[in-house]
Amino acid sequence: EKELKIRRKMLKAHQIIGYTTLAAMVAQGIIGGKLYNGDNSLYKTHKNMAKVVNATYFTGAALSLFSPPPLTNKKTKGFSSIKAHRFLSNIHFSAMIITNIVSDSNKKAHKAAAYTAFASYATAVIVFKF
């Protein structure tokens, strides 16, 4: 029961941080779009927002990855929202890593990875909600 309470708290925090991260990603996308279109005055803001997105994203990921396992491991056949959420998490986690790796070396790859991270992350949030 103790582990179940800890798990519930960690996954609730994961959810709250997930919504915060999604909002920060939207803001980052707006700033990044303006920067990409030549507004270089936003470079420092973009870098600072990247720190916020990374901190919230990887905190949320850690809460999910390191939460205690469920007491029962019921297998559901076919498609489920949790299976879709987990599948999409592999995509957005990888895209977040790539976004950070190429942030200063390849603008096009950075943009593509960032869009992939956002699209798969937003879809993971939506899929789990419905």
Rounded CA separation 60/19 (Å): 10
Q: What is the pLDDT of residues 83-130, one digit of tens each?
A: 999 999 999 999 999 999 999 999 999 999 999 999 999 999 999 877
Q: By the 8 A CB rule, do 127 and 80 touch?
A: no
pLDDT at 73 over 80: no
> How would you class 46 by CB atoms within 10 Å of its CB: exposed for 0-12, middle for 13-18, buried for 19 or more?
middle
Q: What is the pLDDT of residues 41-60, one digit of tens each?
A: 999 999 999 999 999 999 99
pTM above 0.85, yes or no: yes
pLDDT at 21 over 90: yes
Which residue in the block uniquely carries the two structure tokens 């699209």? 119
